[in-house]
Structure 1
Amino acid sequence: MLMVGSIVIRVDDLASQISFWTGALDYVLREPPEDDFALLQPRTGQGPNVSLDAVPSMRVLPPRIHLDLYAEDQAAEVRRLKDLGAREVQWSRKPADADYVIMEDPEGNRFCVVDAAGWPGWAGIQAT
């Protein structure tokens, strides 16, 4: 059996990325950060960890992997993420009826905010 334990994001400025991702995902530090690494976990304890790894790496576009963040209220979450420092990314090949908004964190790591208002998983999350 396998499960996702942690998603690793390469970062330049560890402190600012801790601030962005804890605010974006409502995560907390699992333990005090090291000089080049921080492990974030969901405040509720349920879900995968996010590891921030301050190791130089070349940015590749489009990224080979990215996060899809499900949003119950997509427009509100996009506004909130912009207030935290994220930016919306325009893509000429994005379908007109796309249910996602492409964004990037303050360092340019891309992710999508997916309109998941009807996702049945919300009931299990809100009950906890």
Structure 2
Amino acid sequence: MTLTFDEICIDAHDASALGVWWSKVLGWPHDVDDDGDVVLHAPPGAGPNWLFLAVPDDKVVKNRIHFDFRPDDQQAEVERVVGLGARHVDIGQGDESWVVLADPEGNEFCILAADD
């Protein structure tokens, strides 16, 4: 028996708003499934789809898992994503080459330095 990595499930207070926000950040198409969950469709080779599930509670602690993204131009991507509504967060990272941001519901993610 084998397992296939099919999707990443993300709890959200407002699954519709957060799913649409990440769709804009990633440039991936999205739709709403029969259960009312928002599905981001990963392009071929980009990994699994993302599924945003509505939950009644807000995020209250640091993520136990997060996403790292490597752009062509770190500064430009940080500015673009902050312009879409992300915010800088300090999780104790100090002075590092990556930038820690949070999405509108507070989920942390990193934008790494571009490959040299």
Structure 2 gap ranges (5+): none
Instruction: Give the fraction of aligned pairs with identical amino acids, expressed as a percent.
Output: 33
Alpha-carbon deviation of 1:59?
Answer: 2.2
CA distances 1:42-75 after superposition (whole Å, capped 9, x unpaired):
2x33322111111234524221111111222111
- State the match for 1:45 in structure 2: 44
The TM-score normalised by the length of structure 2 is 0.82
Secondary structure at 2:17 match in 1: helix
Q: Distance in 2 between matches of 1:3 and 1:81?
A: 30
Code of the aligned partner of 1:78: V
Structure 1 gap ranges (5+): 119-128
- State the match for 1:104 in structure 2: 102
- State the match for 2:9 in structure 1: 8
Q: Distance in 2 between matches of 1:67 and 1:115?
A: 14
Code of the aligned partner of 1:82: V
2:113 to 104, 112, 115: 115
The TM-score normalised by the length of structure 1 is 0.76
The number of residues matched between the two structures is 114
